[in-house]
Amino acid sequence: MKIVQHKRPSSLPAIVLCSFLGATTMVDAMADTNSRMIITKPSATASSGHQHHGGHQQRGQQEAQPRARRRGAGNQLMLKNGEGAVVKFWAPDLSTKEVTLEGSRFTTPKPAVDNYHALVAERQIDDLKQAAIRYAYMRGRPSKESPSKLAAAQKTALEIEPAPIPREHHRYMANKVWEFIVRFNGKPLSGTHVALETSHGSRVDAISNDAGLVRFTIPDDFSEVKPGRRKNPAAEFSLFTEYRTASTHYETTLSAAYYVDPDHWRSKGLGVAVAGLGLIAGGFIGGIGRSNKRGKKQ
């Protein structure tokens, strides 16, 4: 398995490295990354807390609403650099609905069922076909569908599939390893260069292996980390890759929110030490019990 991952301080070394590694396709590192089509939250950073159901959010105006009233509401999202694109809303059963863009913003339709839905934006400019995907958890009656079905479905020609999408009680987090599969027309694409960029300005590059798999550690790039998960708003990351055929140039992005690594305010060493104290205390209590019993017997 050939997976390469490295920090990329500037674009030129990446070009050299990718050429050296013999990648069959390569992100045009000199391209203006600001022109990529990305589905993102309306603000620069996502709201804090869980990105999906059962979430904890900072107590504020939104939290003051009864949760039951928020159930079934659509999500507010934004399509960056997506003029002229068509946005489709994919339900867990793979049915689709077109979403109306209001400028660069749009509201997802009210979901009929719960679980992950996909937002897929596509547009074509001459020989360039661009796509952007984002998965969003929505509440409703039970969908009875696995998110793996939605993730695995071919929604556009060139696609980055999360493998898997974090399920309930889990979320994308900095400093942790996450896997994705690059597919072209539904088939894994090997040797493809994928770039991960964050809203905090970090960039990591990787090349897909024979199974189309790329593995990233999301950079721990939150500048001001405060102790406590809810005190640190989520940031956004996007994955970008491109692929050229004889007649067409394909580009695709996958975006999601990610959260600060809680190890900033958690100590594993202290945890082990405290558990050790518990062990000693337990051994002591057990020992007293044994000696009392011996005493009674005598």
Partner 1 sequence: MNLSVIRKLVQIAAFGFMVYGSGLIGYYTVDKFSNALPALSCAFNHNTGDYCTLIPFQHQMAHRVGETIANNGDLLQGLMPTLITLGTFLILFVFLSKAFCGWICPLGTFQELLSMLGQKLGLQQRESVDEKIVKRTRPVKWLVLFFLVFFFPILTGLGYASHDLVDPYCKICPSRILTTLTNGNTDQLVVDQANPVTMGFSIFGDFLFGLMIALALTVRQPFCRICPMLAMNATFRKIGLLKLVKNASSRCEKCGLCAKACPMDIREIHTEMVKKDVTFEDCTLCGRCVEFCPDENVLQLKYATIPVFKASPQYFKKRKKAQKEWEKTTLASLKQPAVQPEAKN
Note the residues at the interface with partner 1 (CB under 8 A): 54, 56, 59, 64-69, 142, 144, 146-148, 164, 167-170, 227-231, 262-263, 265-268, 270-272, 274-283, 285-287, 289-290, 293
- As a whole number of angstroms, the distance between CA 27 and CA 33 comes to 10
Residues 6 or more apart from 167 whose CB is under 8 A from it?
Answer: 147
Sign of CA dihedral 10, 12, 17, 19: positive
Q: Least distance from C-beta 65 to partner 1, angstroms?
A: 7
Respond yes or no on whether the N-terminal peptide bond of residue 111 is cis (omega within 30° of 0): no
Token pair for residue 237? 């990351």
CB closer to partner 1 out of 246 and 275: 275
Within 13 Å and on the Cβ side, how many CA atoms surround 169? 0
- The pair of structure tokens assigned to 202 is 């970090």
Shortest distance in whole angstroms from residue 161 CB to partner 1: 13
Min separation Cβ 270 and partner 1, Å: 4
Q: Shortest distance, CB of residue 3 to partner 1, whole angstroms?
A: 20
User: How many Cα atoms occupy the beta-carbon half-sphere of 66 within 13 Å?
Assistant: 2
Closer CB to partner 1, residue 187 or residue 293? 293
Between 99 and 260, name the residue whose CB sits nearer to partner 1.
260
User: Which is nearer to partner 1, 2 or 230 (by Cβ)?
Assistant: 230
For residues 28 and 220, which CB has a smaller minimum distance to partner 1 in the complex?
220
Query: Which residue, 30 or 270, has its beta carbon nearer to partner 1?
Result: 270
Phi, psi of 234 (to 5 degrees): -70, 155
Place of tokens 């002591």: 284
Backbone angles phi, psi at 273, to 5 degrees: -65, -45
Residue 152 CB, nearest distance to partner 1 (Å)?
12
- Looking at this protein, which amino acid is placed at residue 241? T
Q: How far is the CB of 285 from partner 1 (least distance, A)?
A: 6
- Closest distance between partner 1 and the C-beta of residue 287, in Å? 8
Spell 236-264 as b/e; 16+ CB within 10 A means b: bbbbbbbbeeeeebbbbbbbbbbbbbeeb
CA 155 – CA 256 distance, rounded (Å): 17
The closest of 197, 260, 176 to 225, measured between CA atoms, is 260
To partner 1, the closest distance from the beta carbon of 83 in angstroms equals 35
Question: Smaller CB distance to partner 1: residue 169 or 247?
Answer: 169
Terminal C-alpha separation, the chain? 67
Judged by beta carbon, residue 99 or residue 136, the one nearer partner 1 is 136
